[in-house]
């Protein structure tokens, strides 16, 4: 079902990209848009982690350069039954984290220095368990690909007036491409991210065994993330869906569910589902 939904969503974004190209340049524009979308899908599939990590100027760390953070990820990956991902740190005061990679065997997790400095060890573990949940649920590839295509749709529409050389183009169609295509892409992007964030919260709580720590971390970084600038998401708004918390204020145009809804779901999970499936309902501390 997850694979089917991924295929449908990517097909919808590709069709939207083609439709935008058609409104701007007719049949030729649609064909060019299809070729561009195909190339983007191919490149993003193989280079998703490098694209995102380079965008954030992330530096890889290991057991020697960042022993505590690296050991947290290693323990959690073992609990989750996942291969050890590459671990990165981003030198930024903005508190956030994300996961990327096309599959669990080629995955990476990253956290900002702002997040590592702000949270307790248990809260950091809960955040990284959430990111490992994305990897286990195989969310990372689709999230990165959707961000890439959604950004391209917005770029194509915004520059449609400039690049359209067909004097017979319908001005209303061009206006529709410029105004509606980015909005439609944003709606698809939000639908993907909101659904998957609840799933990653659930998986993260199960992996770390501490829903309270994840709820506490979400509250802390959600408040701070809106106050501390994030240059990457300001340059590329489509990147916002990659983070554990959004950078926008308000739920309507956010790529994530409201933080209070996520915290409420975690409380429900602690009271019921964790016990039902054999996960501890009280804190399970990491060794070390």
The answer to whether 197 is a known ligand-binding residue is yes
DSSP tag of 98: E
- 137 close to 3: Cβ distance less than 8 angstroms: no
In the residue annotation, 131 being an active-site residue is answered as yes
**Separation CA 277–CA 274 (nearest Å):** 5
Unique residue bearing structure tokens 């669990």: 104
268 annotated among ligand-binding-site residues? no
Q: What angle do CA 1, 261, 115 make, to 5 degrees?
A: 95
60, 105, 123, 131: the active-site residue: 131
* Spatial strand order in the sheet of 86-90: 59-61, 86-90, 107-112, 97-101
Q: Which two tokens stand for residue 114?
A: 């702002």
- Residue count (the chain): 288
Is 94 marked within a binding site? no
- Measured CA distances, 274 to 35, 152, 208, 277, 279 (Å): 46, 41, 11, 5, 5
Query: Distance (Å, rounded) from C-alpha 146 to C-alpha 168?
Result: 32
Report the run of H or E that residue 108 belongs to, with start and end: strand 107-112
Catalytic residue annotation: 131
Would you list which residues are annotated within the binding site for Zn(2+)?
Answer: 130, 134, 197
């Amino acid at each position: 079902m997850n694979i089917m939904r991924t295929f449908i969503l990517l097909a919808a974004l590709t069709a939207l990209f083609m439709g935008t190209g058609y409104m701007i340049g007719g049949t030729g524009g649609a064909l060019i848009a299809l070729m561009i979308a195909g190339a983007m899908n191919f490149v993003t599939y193989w280079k998703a982690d490098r694209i995102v990590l380079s965008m954030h100027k992330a530096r890889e760390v290991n057991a020697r350069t960042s022993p505590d953070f690296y050991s947290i990820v290693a323990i959690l990956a073992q609990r989750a039954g996942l291969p050890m991902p590459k671990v990165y740190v981003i030198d930024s005061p903005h508190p956030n984290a994300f996961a990327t990679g096309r599959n669990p065997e080629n995955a990476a997790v990253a956290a900002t220095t702002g997040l590592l400095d702000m949270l307790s060890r248990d809260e950091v573990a809960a955040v990284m368990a959430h990111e490992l949940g994305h990897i286990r649920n195989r969310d990372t590839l689709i999230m990165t690909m959707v961000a890439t295509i959604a950004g391209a749709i917005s770029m194509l529409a915004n520059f449609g007036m400039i690049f359209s050389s067909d004097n017979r183009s319908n001005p209303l169609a061009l206006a529709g491409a410029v105004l509606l295509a980015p909005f439609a892409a944003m709606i698809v992007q939000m639908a993907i991210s909101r659904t998957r964030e609840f799933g990653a919260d659930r998986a993260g709580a199960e992996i770390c065994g501490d829903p309270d720590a994840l709820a506490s971390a979400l509250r802390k970084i959600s408040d701070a993330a809106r106050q501390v600038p994030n240059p990457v998401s300001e340059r590329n708004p489509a990147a916002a869906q990659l983070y554990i918390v959004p950078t926008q204020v308000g739920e309507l145009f956010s790529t994530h569910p409201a933080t209070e809804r996520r915290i409420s779901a975690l409380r429900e999970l602690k009271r019921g589902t964790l016990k039902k499936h054999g996960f501890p309902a009280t804190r399970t501390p990491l060794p070390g």
